[in-house]
Amino acid sequence: MRKIFPLSLRPLAFLVLLAFMFLGSGFYAVAQTVTVQTPFDTETVPNPVPIQATTDTAADRIEIWVNGAKVAGQAGTSSKGSLTLSAGTDRFVVVAAQGANTVLAEKVESITVTASPHVLPALDESFPANNQVSGNGCTQGLPTTFSVTSSTVHTVDTKSAKFSVAESGSGGSNCVYWFLVHSSPAQMVQYVKYHFKIYIPTQPSGDSKEPIQAIEFEVQQDFNTNIYNFAWQAQYRGCGTSCTWNIYNMSARAWESSGIPFTPLTHDAWHDIIAEFHVDGNGTVWHDVLTIDGRRFTPTMHNSHSAVATTHVNTLNNAFQLDMDQFDDSYTVYVDAMDVTYTP
């Protein structure tokens, strides 16, 4: 008959093995990681490179290594700051370290660093006085009434730009494309960031539940017979329950889904929008990432397209557009803290 030892009488080796199994399973059940909020893998980013990372390990410091060399360190389990790195593609590693040379976890990325950027600041304050307007691309052209004015009603600093479109009573699907013209960079841009905050107040919607058809924004460079277009659309209508953030394909003259789901922005609150792009060595435009209220989204489709030939003179523009629904219902949005950053 087989003997069954009480647990207290089982051989020591068995008890050691059993303890190891329990401890081992507990150890491997909890993954130890490093999370890098910025920069993200494959990102094109200008100097100085912003860095934000955390770890869930018992590290006593976070180290930053670039191309095999340690370039920075910060005590604790988080790191936040910026570094000026050499331009080019770099192996970027964030290490959770402990003691003399123990690595608890690491995150390896490849980033492309560009020169120090040019910044076009406070563009929301430039729009009221210096904007130009177009109705091109709208089904019915410009509505009867539209405006952009300075406002102190809703603002995150001292004043914002108030963009309004009003019901025309003659059909629907009008839109207004406001744009600013800037001095042309001497070179094709490599990196572009479009940033602004937007506030959509609750407002009467007339014949429909939501007066907004779409909100669009873009940066465009015309350079050496080519157009480099960087544009996003927040699509509210015409997509049922599957609305997405869309990317403009200038070659096809069509908006295409990025694969990023779109949820209507909540009313009566400020939302922070950051769109980042780059142009590669072949002149292809890439829509890299869209950040909404601090949450980063990467397109899963239609995120690259070729430049389009043009006879325009060299210039750089940024634009903001409001699309109206089929009833041409009136609505207003406020935009603040708008800036464009680029590196040639």
pLDDT per position as a tens digit, 195-252? 999 999 987 655 446 789 999 999 999 999 999 999 999 999 888 888 999 999 999 9
- Which pair of structure tokens corresponds to residue 207? 């014949």
Query: How many beta carbons lie within 10 A of that of residue 318, not counting itself?
Result: 25
The tokens describing 5, both together, are 């030892």
Predicted pLDDT at 11: 55
Q: Is the pLDDT of residue 10 over 80?
A: no
d(CA 175, CA 301): 26
15: pLDDT strictly greater than 80: no
Q: Is the pLDDT of residue 26 over 70?
A: no
Q: Which residues contact 133 (CB under 8 A, 6 or more apart)?
A: 142, 146, 176, 177, 178, 179
- What average pLDDT score do residues 108-128 get? 91
Three-class DSSP category at 38: strand
Could you tell me which of 51, 73, 49 has the C-alpha nearest to residue 62? 73
- pLDDT (tens digit, 9 = 90+) per residue, 39-55? 888 888 888 898 999 99
Closest by alpha carbon to 35, among 52, 59, 48? 52
As beta bridge partners, residue 175 has 323
Question: What is the predicted pLDDT for the residue at 22?
Answer: 45
Q: Where are the alpha helices (DSSP H) in the chain?
A: 12-29, 123-130
- Predicted confidence band at 3 (pLDDT cuts at 50, 70, 90)? very low
Q: What is the pLDDT of residues 250-295, one digit of tens each?
A: 999 999 999 999 999 999 999 999 999 999 989 999 999 999 999 9
Q: For residues 128 and 151, what is the distance between their CA atoms, to the nearest angstrom?
A: 10
pLDDT band at 17 (very low <50, low <70, confident <90, very high): very low
Q: What integer pLDDT is reported at residue 31 of this predicted model? A: 64
What integer best gives the mean pLDDT of the chain? 87
CATH fourth-level superfamily of 118-343: Galactose-binding domain-like (2.60.120.260)
For the segment 324-337, the average pLDDT, to the nearest whole number, is 90
Q: What are the tens digits of pLDDT across the range 129-169? A: 999 998 877 777 888 889 999 999 999 999 999 999 987 66
Domains in the chain: boundaries: 34-114, 118-343
Query: Stretch 14-21: mean pLDDT, rounded?
Result: 46
How large is the average pLDDT for residues 317-328? 90
What's the pLDDT at 42? 83
Predicted pLDDT of residue 48: 87
pLDDT bracket for residue 317 (50, 70, 90): very high
Question: Euclidean distance between the first and final Cα of the chain, in Å?
Answer: 84
CATH hierarchy code of domain 34-114: 2.60.40.10
Find where tokens 């209507």 sit: 264
Q: What is the pLDDT of residue 97?
A: 94
- Specify the pTM: 0.76
Alpha helices (runs of H) in 57-150, residue ranges in sequence order: 123-130
In the chain, the amino acid numbered 158 is T
